Chain A
Amino acid sequence: MKKAEMITGIVLLVLSGLVIWGALQMPPSASFGPGAGFLPFWLGVLLTVLATILFVSAWKRPANDKEAEPVFPGKQALFAIASVLVGVAVYISLIDTLGYLVDTFLLIVFLMKVVEREKWPLTLTISVVTTGTLYVVFQVLLKITLPSSTFGF
């Protein structure tokens, strides 16, 4: 946790630097009163202070066993999380090409078969039922035009 908090502190300092820089680029108010950059500038200053406190207090804390425990899980769990994230990213990227029905069906199959290692019959049942129900609820009942492929579905 100690190391993770120090890294977080640095990331936040960079973020606040960028926000302050961005706020200073904004034009000053045309009339009187504070302009567009006013709040972002002071938020950046505030975050600089808070991030510095986070960094320094993590740095000064004595390193004991509890602090040394890794914050993030082992390789196996990280791999499972990464595969879900990749699956979702691919799903979002392909939704306009494959269309909602095919894309959603494939995402559920991927999540159940590859990530959860479920058996085929259950995987296919859940995939078909979920995709179908969502399609009916959103496209038919709520009349939202879900993305469709060039083949029209």
Chain B
Amino acid sequence: MLNIFDNLILGFQVATSWENILFCFIGVLIGTLIGVLPGIGPTTGIAILIPITFGMSATTAIITLAGIYYGAMYGGSTTSILINLPGESASVMTMLDGYQMAKKGRPGPALGMAALASFIAGTVAIVLLTLIAPPLASYAVSFGPPEYFALTFMGLTLVSALGGDKPLKAYISAVVGLMISCVGIDAISGVARFTMGSMSLLDGVGFIGMAIGLFAISEILVNIEEPIKQVFSDAKLGIRSLFPNLQDWKDSFGALWRGSLLGFFIGTLPGSGATLCSFIAYAVEKKLSAHPEKFGTGVIEGVAAPEGANNAAAGGAMVPLLTLGIPSGGATAVMLGALMIHGLRPGPMLFSTNPEFVWGLIASMYIGNVFLVILNMPLVGLWVKLLKVPYKVLMPLILTISATGIFATDNNVFDMWVMFFFGMVGYVMRKLDFPAAPMVLALVIGRLVEMSLRQSLTISHGDISIFFTRPISGVLTVVALLSLFSPLFRILWSRYKAPGKSLA
């Protein structure tokens, strides 16, 4: 316990250097902006801004990117409440009651509660992260290759099985991602694989080019096809009108702490993501409420629960990312890629080899949350005005920032073609309902998957039982297999419950 306290002090020493405070602020500012603007989500935002962080130290870079991630969770609620349009997908549930509150003339308390719930839940999540991450990391330090393979395998199957309602397509996406990670020189034998004679592919397919193509470029193409509706709000928002009254607090108290805990713990599971957490928190509140029929008509608990949950989830997602090196979804997969580019090896060793990085990042999140509540309460009117920026202006902006950033990564035009190619692939995938997150995750951890798999099989002389007989890897492998086949169980269950009906 005392140890954690010492570490936190170290963290705050790192996080309060002028440079880190400045970039933490810039990160949460950009995050809020991305959250507010429809048509650009946190994953896209992080991906296109990675190149800008190259000149920074690894700690400053990740502080900035993490700020974008949790900042977007704040900003997304603003548009949900005022114009019934989610700024990003984790704010969908906030629309139900938030927009109704705004329609009934109470946009102020809805916005204020969204910001304060985000702040409270975000802070609860960081406290939990501070307490839970170190013991988990020290436990995971003893992991050998079989444990690592089982862990990465589990991460992939969980992200695919839980990350959407099309598990088959998610598996295909993950397998193709692993294939792409095989491109380039094999790290063990030195054989060039699938390079088709291209020098540029010897190092493998560039992660940033692929992530920006799959997330940012494909998003642009979809938005061109279905132009985003521009809706304006003429709500008058004085600072005083933003504070929820005592009755609002009483109504929201339960929703706040349940949303925080649910969001954090579900958020730590790979594949869950902030969107799922906000859905579950809203459903739980509705179930426990004395007046469930009022949900959807503008009750403040309906704003506090999902907003708290999606911010707590952003903190929860940091647990597997920092302790195990396993991202929980698209946005954290992109951050993991950024960590590797900055020369950090994510995983349990991070806590002992780079304590100033880990604790600096955690401490910066406390600071970032304070910035965010300031940015979102007094300045909410400014964000609303920003909605008037038309997508026509935004589109060329996103495209040129992406292209320039990609070039800056390696001073290499080839990476721009990688972006172009995966932009088209990503567009087709969106149209056909193939999720992109498993593919990006597979590329990021693909090398680790392959190394640990081949090392394990070398240790065991090709005996596959090594993954089952060691206790930790055994448990992880079984969880992975269960989640892998969970779609099948679901199908069997629905057959059992509804005999005679054929499967749709």
Contacts and interface: CB of A to CB of B under 8 A. Distances in A.
A131 B399 CA distance: 12
B138 interface: no
Interface residues of A, number: 68
Interface in A32-48: 32-40, 43-44, 46-47
Interface residues of B, number: 55
B458 interface: yes
Contact of B400 (A5, A116, A134): A134
A108 B461 contact: no
B403 A92 contact: yes
B395 A43 contact: no
B408 A142 contact: yes
B392 interface: yes
Main secondary structure of the interface of A (DSSP, over half): helix
B186 interface: yes
Contact of A126 (B188, B396, B407, B458): B396
B462 interface: yes
Interface string A7-50: 01000100100010010001101101111111110011011001
Given A39-B450, A54-B168, A104 B182 contact: no
Interface string B208-241: 0000000000001100111000000000000000
Contacts of A116: 392, 395
Contacts of A147: 407, 413
Interface stretch (B263-271, B376-384, B416-424): B416-424
Contacts of A43: 175, 178-179, 182
A76 to B, nearest CB: 9
Interface stretch (B80-88, B189-197, B291-299, B306-314): B189-197
Contacts of A141: 55
B179 A47 contact: yes
B400 A92 contact: no
B454 A33 contact: yes
B457 interface: yes
A59 interface: no
Nearest to A22: B194
Contact of B225 (A5, A73, A89): A73
B399 A88 contact: yes
Contacts, number: 157
Given A54-B168, A92-B413, A95-B413, A8 B225 contact: no
B191 A26 contact: yes
Given A46-B175, A47-B175, A84-B220, A138 B396 contact: no
A71 B54 contact: no
Given A84-B220, A116-B395, A118-B392, A36 B188 contact: yes
Nearest to A115: B224
A81 B221 contact: yes
B458 A47 contact: no
Nearest to B451: A39
A26 B193 contact: yes
Contacts of B417: 92
Nearest to B183: A40
Given A40-B182, A43-B182, A81-B427, A50 B462 contact: no
Interface in A45-81: 46-47, 50-51, 53-54, 57, 71-73, 77, 80-81
Interface of A: 1, 4-5, 8, 12, 15, 19, 22, 26-27, 29-30, 32-40, 43-44, 46-47, 50-51, 53-54, 57, 71-73, 77, 80-81, 84-85, 88-89, 91-92, 95-96, 100, 104, 107-108, 111-112, 115-116, 118, 122, 126-127, 130-131, 134, 137-138, 141-147
Interface of B: 52, 54-55, 168-169, 171-172, 175-176, 178-179, 182, 186, 188-189, 191, 193-194, 220-221, 224-226, 392-393, 395-397, 399-401, 403-404, 407-408, 411, 413, 416-417, 420, 423-424, 427, 431-433, 449-450, 453-455, 457-458, 461-462
22 contacts: A4-B432, A34-B454, A36-B186, A36-B188, A37-B193, A39-B454, A40-B179, A40-B193, A43-B175, A43-B179, A54-B168, A72-B431, A73-B225, A85-B221, A88-B403, A116-B395, A126-B397, A130-B396, A134-B404, A142-B408, A143-B55, A144-B408
Given A95-B407, A147-B407, 13 more contacts: A8-B432, A15-B176, A19-B179, A36-B193, A40-B194, A73-B225, A77-B224, A85-B221, A85-B424, A107-B400, A108-B396, A126-B397, A144-B408
